[in-house]
Amino acid sequence: MLGQAWVYDGEWYLLNASSGAPSAKATVNGGVPGLGLSAQLRRGLLAASAGLDARYGVGDWQHLPVGTGSWRTELYPHLGVGLPWLQVTAGAWFPWRLGLGARAQVPLVGPLELVAGGLGGIGLPITRDGGQPSFQASPSFAAWAGVGVRLQP
């Protein structure tokens, strides 16, 4: 799947304010391109899937300071269950969240399909070394749509 996402991440402002990030809606909301890959196993009307979604923040403040570096790629490896065309998903939303979402796949022409979904991220507590206080990311949200190609054996 190749698509475009809207992502809300409050950490884009909170962790970049000291570097000059403006206190504005545009700092924490942004359009983000993405790629996705998944495999699905079907049994009648039920389906289970495993996948990986990756989105890359291209905006000035769409990055997170992690350790001594900067993290722009949001990864969401996930498992899904439901109908072949509509599933709920759960997985790690890297770098600091548990992701819970839903996705839909609608056939277009031939192997092409429309893929759309939504994701909510719950911040996980992170303990840090050196006596630094623990950290817990704020909730984050994403919605996306794109075009995919379904390969069948």
Specify the pTM: 0.92
Confidence of residue 102 (pLDDT cuts 50, 70, 90): very high
Distance CA 125, CA 137 (A): 7
DSSP 19: G
Residue 64 has pLDDT above 80, yes or no: yes
Domains identified in the chain, total number: 1
Query: What does the pLDDT read at residue 68?
Result: 83
Residue 56 has pLDDT above 80, yes or no: yes
Backbone angles phi, psi at 104, to 5 degrees: -125, 145
Report H helices in 7-153: 11-14, 25-28
Residue 81 has pLDDT above 90, yes or no: yes
Model pLDDT for residues 32-46, shown as the tens digit of each residue: 999 999 999 999 999
Structural domain of 31: 2-149
Residue 153 has pLDDT above 90, yes or no: no
The mean pLDDT value for 9-30 works out to 95
Query: What does the pLDDT read at residue 65?
Result: 86
b/e per residue, 115-150, with b = 16+ CB within 10 A? bebbbbbebeeeeeeeeeeeeebbebebebebebee
Query: What does the pLDDT read at residue 43?
Result: 96
Q: What CATH number should be reported for the domain holding residue 95?
A: 2.40.160
Assess contact for 5 and 29: CB atoms under 8 A: no
Query: What does the pLDDT read at residue 49?
Result: 98
Poorest-confidence range of 68-72, 86-90, 112-116, 129-133? 129-133
